[in-house]
Amino acid sequence: MEANHLMPVYNRYPVVLAQGTGAEVYDTQGRHYWDFLAGIGVNSLGYNHPAIQEALARSAPLIHTSNLFWTEEGIQLSNKMADITGGFLSLWVNSGTEANEAGIKLLRRYGKTVRKDAILSLSGGFHGRTMGSLSATFVPAYQDPFTPLVPEFFEVEAGNIGALRAAMEQYRPCGLMVESIQGEGGVVPLPPGYLSEAAQVAREFDCLLLVDEVQTGIGRTGQWFGFQHEDISPDIITVAKGLGAGVPIGAMLARDGVAQYFQPGDHGTTFGGNPLAARAGLAVLTWLEEEGLAHVRQMSQVLEGRLQHLAREYPDIVMGYRGRGLMWGIVVSAPAKDLVQMALDRGLILNAPKPNVIRLLPPLIVGEEGIAGFYDILSEVLEQWRHTAR
Ligand SMILES: Cc1ncc(COP(=O)(O)O)c(C=O)c1O
């Protein structure tokens, strides 16, 4: 039925998920899964978390009001975000690509004042599927079917400061867009120090720095934002995914002095930051502040220990692993999608953003039992692969 009525843009697994708690989810056949994908980094508090259930219940009387009115939830969320970011102003949206779209518009708005149009982004990066963020995503398979794209976007080699400086000289851009760890690109961290140097080069050229924290932000790496592992302060930050723990919400956050390039009427979105989404966002930020960030750091060590072990036990298949906090990529010599399928068959949800990379994005509430469950099933898969491949 679904195949007849839905546009065929996704290849879905033949599994119907029905209910879950924490990092565990069940399908309609009653089969149990450890969920190490968390709705692609969205279900930060896992399934059925009491704080989110309460936020949803308390939103019931209002849900939505429009941005023509103030709401207490919206005010509280914007205040909290300002505390976390050191005074950034928020613009609430509904998804990651929309957050970037808003960021691109703010870059261009700034660009108008300094007569610059160009926007740079890094090779291997991913910023979304709408026309602006797609224009900043230099993946031919995503871009080519949709040309012409938005003009004046240029690709720069990720991790290469010389290339960045040359592009700054050539294009004189108003903005540079980067992810602190390239998630869709295969969980590829930028080389240590690159982000600080890039921020400095951007400043030299009066180019604003937009850090896309849609996947890495909101506690995923053990800090509020992935860029905080380096000592930089961006002009614009975009977030979404884990912020609402499943309720669609994103934000384009800009520092004081940059946010004001937007004036009334310059941008808008009907749903952005409605009371339902704001309450969910508040619940997530409160959990992170009170216990979540510390928990992510602790679980990160446990998970990294397990990855070390897998790399030692299966050096013929596990070529390495990389990441931070609760965002990891395991580089494998076997086809990642086959291993992911084998894991699914055994009750573990993973995914493969690249043919040789398995990605782990467990819910941030994952505990030691979940990590042990992941480890046991993936070990079984690797063991099985070793035997059948030989
Ligand atoms: C870094 C980054 N930016 C933007 C997006 C787009 O977010 P959304 O799918 O919510 O539009 C993603 C999604 O994977 C992402 O990882």
Residues 156 and 10 in one domain: no
Residues 246 and 319 in one domain: no
Q: At residue 181, does pLDDT exceed 90?
A: yes
| pLDDT band of 192, cuts 50, 70, 90 | very high
- Region 153-176: what's the mean pLDDT? 98
Q: Are 127 and 100 in contact (CB under 8 A)?
A: yes
- Three-state SS for 232? coil
The helix (run of H) or strand (run of E) holding residue 19 is strand 17-21
Residues 207 and 235 in one domain: yes
Ligand 1, atom 8: closest residue by C-alpha: 96
Segment 78-87, tens digit of pLDDT: 999 999 999 9
Confidence (pLDDT) at 61: 87
Residues 151 and 253 in one domain: yes
Q: Between 61 and 273, whose confidence is greater?
A: 273
Segment 45-73, tens digit of pLDDT: 999 999 999 999 998 889 999 999 999 99
Residues 150 and 257 in one domain: yes
- Region 92-114: what's the mean pLDDT? 98
The alpha carbon of 239 and the centre of ligand 1 are apart by a number of angstroms equal to 9
Confidence (pLDDT) at 357: 98
- Region 120-132: what's the mean pLDDT? 98
Confidence (pLDDT) at 13: 93
Confidence (pLDDT) at 389: 74
Residues 152 and 132 in one domain: yes
The burial of 12, by beta-carbon neighbours within 10 Å (0-12 exposed, 13-18 middle, 19 or more buried), is given as: exposed
| Ligand 1 lined by 374 (C-beta under 6 Å) | no
Confidence (pLDDT) at 59: 86
Q: At residue 246, does pLDDT exceed 70?
A: yes
Residues 35 and 54 in one domain: no
Q: At residue 34, does pLDDT exceed 90?
A: yes
Long-range interactions of 332-339: CB distance < 8 A, separation 24+: 332/356, 332/357, 332/358, 334/385, 334/389, 338/385, 339/381, 339/382, 339/385
Segment 170-180, tens digit of pLDDT: 999 999 999 99
Residues 165 and 268 in one domain: yes
Instruction: Provide the domain count of the chain.
Output: 2
Residues 283 and 317 in one domain: no
Q: At residue 376, does pLDDT exceed 60?
A: yes
Q: At residue 3, does pLDDT exceed 90?
A: no
Confidence (pLDDT) at 390: 55
Q: How far apart are the C-alpha atoms of 46 and 38, rounded to whole Å?
A: 7
Residue finishing a domain among 287, 319, 354: 287
> Which domain does 19 fall in, by range?
2-49+291-389
| Ligand 1 lined by 97 (C-beta under 6 Å) | yes
| Ligand 1 lined by 183 (C-beta under 6 Å) | yes
Ligand 1, atom 10: closest residue by C-alpha: 96
Q: What percent of the chain has pLDDT over 90?
A: 96
Confidence (pLDDT) at 126: 98
Q: How far apart are the C-alpha atoms of 241 and 213, rounded to whole Å?
A: 9
Neighbouring CB atoms inside 10 A of 139's CB total 14
Residues 160 and 256 in one domain: yes
| Ligand 1 lined by 246 (C-beta under 6 Å) | no
Residues 60 and 41 in one domain: no
Q: What are phi and psi of 210, to 5 degrees?
A: -105, 120
Residue finishing a domain among 267, 287, 307: 287
CA within 13 Å, CB half, 142: 18
Residues 248 and 297 in one domain: no
Q: How far apart are the C-alpha atoms of 225 and 218, rounded to whole Å?
A: 6
